[in-house]
Amino acid sequence: MELAVEGIHTYYGLSHVLHGVDLRVRPGELVGLLGRNGAGKTTTLRSIMGLTPPARGTISYNGEVISGKKPYQIARKGIAYVPEVRDVFSNLTVEENLTLAHDPRSPWTMPRILEWFSPLRDLMDRKGSNLSGGQQQMLVIARALMTGPQLLVLDEPSQGLAPLIVNAVLDILRELRKENLSVLLVEQSIRMAMELADRIYILSDGKIVHESPPEVLAGDPSIFERHIGIAV
């Protein structure tokens, strides 16, 4: 598995949002993408998934160009996307949400999923609409795994969750790293990204302005101040 984003420019109508973004996710890597609100993080993920295709530049996956393909074709290559808005099927039960997504080739069977996401075990008959934010977040990540991805693309999984739930999600993501799964993670929680990521990119005004392992950032907090506008 290797994702390579090279020099992409993405627009919403006339609004030029990404100005030549380059990034890579290598096999088994967890890559964090940070940046202030409006920097273009979600747009980068939407470009990768073919939802807002780049006007210029190339995105390739395992050496094959995927920019220009339809979102469902990109998903079928083995890339699962968990958007910021938790898109659970609200009128379906937890079990139905999971079963619908299951690909028979996926190593993630229902028993295995319930072992990993144990809070979902007692909620199998509960409708999606009757779940808490944290339960919904677990469900959408579990559902993404049911499709058997090689690359998981997550947009702000910690958003709006209580610290205890964030820690539970963090534990799962940490464990997932051992499962030969690559992850591209957009996060507002710098703590979460710093704890999990092998490498971090910072996006500012639609450009990558920094790339390093988290240790380098931890040793020089002024980088955050400069590019994200906060002291850590």
The residue ranges that bind ligand ATP (CB under 6 A) are 12, 15, 17, 35, 37-43
Of residues 35 and 157, the one with the C-beta less far from ligand ATP: 35
Closest CA to 168 of 132, 202, 144: 132
Calpha distance 132→138 (Å, rounded): 10
Of residues 126 and 207, the one with the C-beta less far from ligand ATP: 207
In sign, the C-alpha dihedral spanning 121, 197, 194, 215 is: positive
- Count other C-beta atoms under 10 Å from residue 168's C-beta: 18
With contact defined as beta carbons under 8 Å apart, do 79 and 46 qualify?
Answer: no
DSSP class of 209: E
Exposure string of 35-72, with b = 16+ CB inside 10 Å and e = fewer, is beeebbbbbbbbbbbbebbbeebebebeeeebbebeee
Structural tokens at position 230 = 């906060």
CA distances from 232 to 52, 189, 209, 226, 227 (A): 32, 11, 18, 11, 12
Calpha distance 184→169 (Å, rounded): 15
Residue 37 CB, nearest distance to ligand ATP (Å)?
Answer: 4
Of residues 29 and 187, the one with the C-beta less far from ligand ATP: 187
Of residues 31 and 120, the one with the C-beta less far from ligand ATP: 31
Of residues 150 and 155, the one with the C-beta less far from ligand ATP: 155
